[in-house]
A and B are shown apart, each in its own frame.
Chain A
């Protein structure tokens, strides 16, 4: 993440299907070249959609007793992400993707803590500046044998260090994917619970705020811009939303 001067392009796409959203992010990652700008997408989904972590299967979801009993769960459109982690029910939220070109990707395995922490810290700090308490999670529900121990299937039911939480509620989760020429980070900012999964509450409920969705997108873009500059001080924005 310590590449030299790098431009940042922000784009806000209209709501698309799960397949379309993931195809765009996949193309950004697989097509990235060393001299490309950092690309930040902020987007929503045309309909409630389940995105599976890269190694999750839809059968795992359907084996959940609750899913078996509720038609909306069984029939929800789904797509698989290139990034890892748990499944996300994309409904009342903003999703972001950041594609960072790097010539050093091959020499690095695992996640970029620098980028990951910068983004989550920026979101936490932004909420705090608005007068809303938020913190970074410290514990993890994962382990090398977590699959056997039944780690929650949904990302927002899991905890990993640096997740942004409001009390016991996780409101921002992210995951990364490395490729030979770049890094992709996905994240979801939960604004409101989905009617088909009401126990996962979002910022609008936790803070009783009246921000519009457009305001949230603007705010998220600003926080991502600050985070990227914190992680990569030479990065410069060359276009806004």
Chain B
């Protein structure tokens, strides 16, 4: 699987989702390079468990940077089918590559049409530019 930022959908809260490349209905979720830069020094990440339900726009995990705890919001609804548990011990991967190496969870989507409500790359880049 190759994850290119240009091919992803984004939340205003800076999570990305890679739509399934096949008919599995399984989307991959992570946080953007912009979010990683905002967080600055990530020291911990709390992740959901396999089998847990997530809802679009609701928290699915938390990330701790040196001075704050921030929620991570799921871009889509469904069931968590895989968790990148190894990432918790290698958070520096998020700095190096928040997409390919830094994916966080995989979700079996219950409503793929939710993808249509998310920002495409151009719109997300524009929003980030406006935030500075």
Contacts and interface: CB of A to CB of B under 8 A. Distances in A.
Given A82-B69, A84-B69, A178-B69, A142 B43 contact: yes
B73 interface: yes
B53 interface: no
Interface in A66-114: 82-85, 106-112
A84 B13 contact: no
Interface string A52-77: 00110000000000000000000000
B131 A107 contact: yes
Interface in A169-202: 174-180
Interface stretch (B22-30, B60-68, B76-84, B104-112): B60-68
A107 B38 CA distance: 10
Contacts of A209: none
Interface residues of A, number: 29
Nearest to B44: A55
A82 B91 CA distance: 21
Contacts of B44: 55, 84, 147
Given A54-B69, A83-B69, A144-B92, A109 B43 contact: no
Contacts of A107: 12-14, 127, 131
Contacts of B42: 144
B46 interface: yes
User: Which of B38, B69, B70, B95 has most A Cβ within 10 Å?
Assistant: B69
Contact of B14 (A83, A109, A147, A160): A109
Contacts of B63: 109
Nearest to B41: A142
Contacts, number: 90
Interface residues of B, number: 30
A146 interface: yes
Chain A: interface secondary structure? loop
B67 A160 contact: yes
Nearest to A141: B66
Nearest to A107: B12
A180 B35 CA distance: 15
Interface string A209-241: 000000000000000000000000000000000
A110 B42 CA distance: 9
B18 interface: no
Nearest to B95: A144
Contact of A54 (B14, B62, B127): B62
A84 B92 contact: no
Interface of A: 54-55, 82-85, 106-112, 116, 140, 142-147, 160, 174-180
Interface of B: 11-14, 31, 35, 38-44, 46, 62-71, 73, 91-92, 95, 127, 131
17 contacts: A55-B44, A55-B46, A83-B68, A84-B65, A85-B67, A107-B131, A108-B38, A109-B39, A110-B35, A110-B65, A110-B70, A144-B92, A144-B95, A160-B67, A177-B68, A177-B69, A179-B71
